[in-house]
Structure 1
Amino acid sequence: MFDLELKKLQTEEPRTPEGLPEDIIVSPDTHRANRIPPGQSRTRKWPILDAGGPPRIDMEKWRLELHGLVEKEASFDWAQFQQLPRTKVFSDFHCVTRWSRLGNVWEGVSTRDLMKAVGTISPRARYVLVHGYDFGWTTNLPLDQFLAEDALIATHHDGEPLSVEHGAPARLIVPRLYAWKSAKWIGGLEFIENDKAGFWERNGYHMNGDPWREERFGY
């Protein structure tokens, strides 16, 4: 029944958190009376945007590497990643190009569960630099946003596996920031002390990217 409802998710009024299964984490922004941030408009589709197209990923060689200011570094191959506890999150999704897709259900591995593999995070670590498989692509975000309850490494969207165009095999989802921070084709997480601009940030985008403050650009 729930899967049938998911298919209608973007064809009617935006779904609200009420009535969701108890195992789904609800992103706080979905409780807002007006869920569309300033300067945005709602879309029922899911546009495909990226810097240069999907990379070729050999799943036999796929790894998610965690390193930097942590007690112990960790690495997961695809089989190991699939064995981690699963989480579902209900959230909205806001692109800096001024569209918002409301009422998404993501499934994957919570960032909080993922970090259990590295032990203690150094108190010096205040940011995360996310590395993608697409020709050295990176993005930066505050550690507290990365570790928010509604943040996860997603493999599924609205009950279906992610398509390659939307970041398969796995992408980061950080619902409370603009969607470019939710890096596709994720391959590494580097925990750092000082903020470091990623690909889009070096090209003029905001270092933080809060959609409710319209933090689109860094100038």
Structure 2
Amino acid sequence: MDKKLPPGQFETEKWPILHVGDIYQFNEQTWDFQLFGDVKDMVTLTYKEFMQLPKTVQTVNMHCVTTWSKFGTTFEGIALRDLVKLVELEEDVKYVQIYGYYEGDRFGYSANLPLEALQGEDSLFVYRWKDDHHDWQDLDPKHGFPVRFIPPESFYLWKGTKWASGIRFMKEDEAGFWEEMGYSMTANPFKEERYR
């Protein structure tokens, strides 16, 4: 895997923990994952149903807008493209909003992304990871347990929603949590798209 450091970034072997709000307390009995928006029928998955979906293992590079980059972390999770197969999209769906828990609200956090860029094996809803210094381990709560979205490295990591709770499919792009506060809508670290 290539190690190309985006402008303004430094390399770290650690996986720093950054988030706003409280840490979601997982309850398997009440947790579910929703696929909704511009779809023919909404789909709701229980935790058990979600974890029975096909698994993908992929090694990715992560770049945080706070200037750190971590290379070569391997994740296991559910590819976004496999979740898309569970719904019938309406015509002209080009964007998604990926939601996560924030201050007790299951849709309190969101990140907007173009759907076309998320069709590879590097767009994962992950639940465990490893790297050169750690064997396989579950995400801990501060990293987004039970499920966190990891985007392709062509996006800053704030697009990687922690405590993921659903995907809304959209025909028009809409600002997410950080975008509403002035962060870039496109967030490409190689173009240093940090802010609008």
- When normalised by structure 2's length, the TM-score is 0.90
Of 98, 104, 120, which residue of structure 2 is paired with 1:148? 120
Q: Does 1:130 align with 2:98?
A: yes
Q: Does 1:48 align with 2:56?
A: no
Aligned to 2:133: none
Of 148, 156, 171, which residue of structure 1 is paired with 2:148? 171
Instruction: Give the greater-gyration-radius structure (CA).
Output: 1
Q: Take 1:46 and 1:53, find their aligned partners in 2: how far apart are those partners?
A: 19
User: Do the aligned partners of residues 194 and 65 (structure 1) sit closer, same or farther apart at CA in structure 2, a change above 3 Å counting?
Assistant: same
Q: Take 2:58 and 2:95, find their aligned partners in 1: how far apart are those partners?
A: 23
Deviation, 1:151, is 0.6
Deviation, 1:68, is 1.1
Aligned to 1:36: 5
Structure 1 stretches of at least 4 aligned residues deviating more than 4 Å after TM superposition: none
Aligned to 1:22: none
Cα pair 2:26 2:145 within 8 Å, conserved: no
Deviation, 1:147, is 2.5
Aligned to 2:173: 195
Moved more, 121-130 or 182-191: 121-130
Q: Secondary structure at the match of 2:117?
A: helix
Deviation, 1:145, is 2.2
> What 5-or-longer segments of structure 2 have no aligned partner?
131-135
Q: Take 1:128 and 1:147, find their aligned partners in 2: how far apart are those partners?
A: 12
Deviation, 1:132, is 0.7
Of 86, 97, 100, which residue of structure 1 is paired with 2:66? 97
**2:112 is matched by which residue type in structure 1?**
N
Structure (1 or 2) with the greater strand fraction: 2
Cα pair 2:36 2:43 within 8 Å, conserved: yes
Provide Cα deviations, 1:4-47, integer angstroms capped at 9, x if missing partner. Answer: xxxxxxxxxxxxxxxxxxxxxxxxxx33xx51111100011111
Structure (1 or 2) with the greater helix fraction: 1
Deviation, 1:148, is 3.0
> What 5-or-longer segments of structure 1 have no aligned partner?
1-29
Provide Cα deviations, 1:88-133, integer angstroms capped at 9, x if missing partner. Answer: 0111000000000100101011111111111x32232111011111
Deviation, 1:51, is 1.3
Q: Take 1:64 and 1:146, find their aligned partners in 2: how far apart are those partners?
A: 18
Q: Does 1:76 align with 2:45?
A: yes
Of 24, 29, 35, which residue of structure 2 is paired with 1:66? 35
Cα pair 1:57 1:133 within 8 Å, conserved: no
Identity of aligned residues (%): 39
Deviation, 1:209, is 0.6
Q: Take 1:147 and 1:133, find their aligned partners in 2: how far apart are those partners?
A: 24
Provide Cα deviations, 1:37-72, integer angstroms capped at 9, x if missing partner. Answer: 111000111111011131223221111100011233
Q: Take 2:94 and 2:120, find their aligned partners in 1: how far apart are those partners?
A: 13
